[in-house]
Chain A
Amino acid sequence: MYAQLVKSEGSKTRDEMTPEEIAFQERIDRGERIEPKEWMPEGYRKTLIRQMGQHAHSEIVGQLPEGNWITRAPTLERKAILLAKVQDEAGHGLYLYSAAETLGISRDELLEQLHSGKMKYSSIFNYPTLTWADIGAVGWLVDGAAIMNQVPLQRTSYGPYARAMVRICKEESFHQRQGYDIMMKMAAGTPEQKAMAQDALNRFWYPSLMMFGPSDKDSVHSAQSMAWKIKINTNDELRQKFVDQTVPQAEYLGLTIPDPNLKWNEEKGGHDFSEPDWSEFFAVIAGNGPCNEERLGARVKAWDDGAWFRDGLMAHAEKAASRRHAAE
């Protein structure tokens, strides 16, 4: 997942569309895939760049809260699993940047926009991972929420994005099981471990609900993105599905979801639940979350500190090329 508040370009009625745009929309309506060299409306291209870029940025910033516990993982096996997981996230970032590059923007340009604050990443990664149970909660809830959004995106209209999502989903569902496995161990552990597990759920519950973005009635960009099949379900549909999936999992763990209003609604066939505090969501998006400064700062520092490394490799490549040239 990891794309929230993606501003959608365009939104035209059929009467306002050019013949090319109508033909494009008809292809999408027939369920055809759009491939990189094919004609597409500028708005479609720009919206996709925003969405895929935000998704890619979320994967790489998302390395940080989990990487925070790699050096403190409690067993060798947990350390290996977490390393493998974070490596997968970096790999997801790589596929997504590559897929975005097919739309005519470079990875360096995307990174520059991340570093300057022009592009965002998911709000969830601006929350701290304070205990080992948080690593379980991130896998269980955050990856769980991500999967909700990403499974339908395997059917998205843009070919490279849909294909990247197939592989990403396989790995994400594995991550979610690993996260849940940590939670099971903690919930069945010592009183201190169980308290850590409950505390992690308390802190990650509402931020996880925020991952789906604001309510449909306040989400101005959804309609066009859904028409283009860049977005498949509404934010509220996905959030409801996530809550319904997660409630029995929490019960199985013997943990309490921190929402006094949570209850089964027979009539709608789903749970009623409290909305997250959207003012907090907008504050986090605006840069005022508990870890915004550290997360973005760490990425910028990594990039700046690595400039000599990248320049050195370029200098070598140029030397090697001129030596080859001289030898010819």
Chain B
Amino acid sequence: MADVASIDRTAFAEWLLRVGDNALILGHRVSEWCGHAPALEEDIALANTALDLIGQCQLWLGLAAEVEDKGRTADQLAFLRDAGGFRNLLLVERPNGDFGVTLMRQFLFDAFHIELLRALAKSTDSRVAEIAAKAEKEVAYHLERSADLVIRLGDGSAESHERMAKALKSLWVYTGEMFLDDATDQAVAEAGIAPLPSSLKAAWEATVNAVLAEATLENPGQAWQHKGGKQGIHSEHLGFLLAEMQFLQRAYPGASW
């Protein structure tokens, strides 16, 4: 295990929030579908995906709380930070849209998530490596499912193709942020805790290109890319998500549930 003191504790905790918040916010979004999916099997699969992500977020935010060492818990991090304190990617806070948008968002993230977790399983911090090894198994299944559905719907009916193409176009501009390196990323990479995000891009592109080709969907290629989530500059959507998610903890401070 790396000696936490040997790396900047603030950078490590900050980075853990990024990983944990991605799981929390995407898990929350997916859970919004509960009972409203287009087929019973999809309701089950979505609940399962959301459950995996919430479970992962508990582990990541638990470790973030431990590393930051300010006496906060994972729940306090999840339920008592305001939007500016969240470090998730803009992609995962995008509203669910139709089922095509939800699936495409999942696929674009899963293809990144799996590469990140594979690399983290070799982390010099054994706690990070252990969480990643557990999450990797779950996310491998998420990717298998989301890729399969993107292919089927892209190469499905005229309407499903059109919806998937539209979803891809609207979400593509939020994918670039996944691979941007900043000072926090540099610090954890130098400590051997995590890979540089930019190092994951080639593998992500290979997965995405192969799936989009089979789905007969055109790769949007170079496009303007939004950023800011990792630094706490979010879209308007996150505030509403948090208002809902944090309601009980905010309305009844100090209560135990």
Residues of A within 8 A of B (CB): 60, 63-64, 67, 70-80, 83-84, 86-87, 90-91, 93-94, 97, 107, 132, 182, 185-186, 189-190, 192-193, 298, 301-303, 305-317, 319
Digitize B39-65: 1 where CB-to-A-CB distance is under 8 Å, 0 elsewhere.
Answer: 111111001101100110110010000
Contacts of B54 in A (CB 8 A): 76, 79-80, 83
> Counting CB contacts under 8 A, is B169 at the interface?
no
Contact, CB under 8 Å: B43 / A90: yes
Measured CA separation A77–B58 after assembly (Å): 8
Contacts of A307 in B (CB 8 A): 38
Residue from B44, B74, B159, B257 having most chain A Cβ neighbours under 10 A? B257
Tell me, rounded to whole Å, the shortest Cβ–Cβ distance linking A171 to chain B.
13
Q: State the total of A-B contacts with C-beta under 8 angstroms.
A: 152
Q: Can you name 10 A-B residue pairings with CB atoms under 8 Å?
A: A74-B79, A76-B74, A79-B31, A185-B257, A190-B254, A302-B37, A309-B42, A311-B156, A312-B153, A319-B156
Tell me, rounded to whole Å, the shortest Cβ–Cβ distance linking B238 to chain A.
14
Residues of B within 8 A of A (CB): 24, 28, 31-32, 34-44, 47-48, 50-51, 54-55, 57-58, 61, 74-75, 78-79, 98-100, 151-153, 155-157, 159-161, 163, 244-245, 247-249, 252, 254-257
Residue from A86, A93, A192 having most chain B Cβ neighbours under 10 A? A86
Q: A72-B248, A94-B41 are in contact. Are A84 and B51 (CB under 8 A)?
A: yes
Contacts of A314 in B (CB 8 A): 156-157
Contacts of A78 in B (CB 8 A): 257
Q: A87-B44, A192-B252 are in contact. Are A75 and B35 (CB under 8 A)?
A: no
Measured CA separation A308–B41 after assembly (Å): 16
Contact, CB under 8 Å: A76 / B78: yes
Residue from B28, B50, B161 having most chain A Cβ neighbours under 10 A? B50
Measured CA separation A302–B254 after assembly (Å): 38
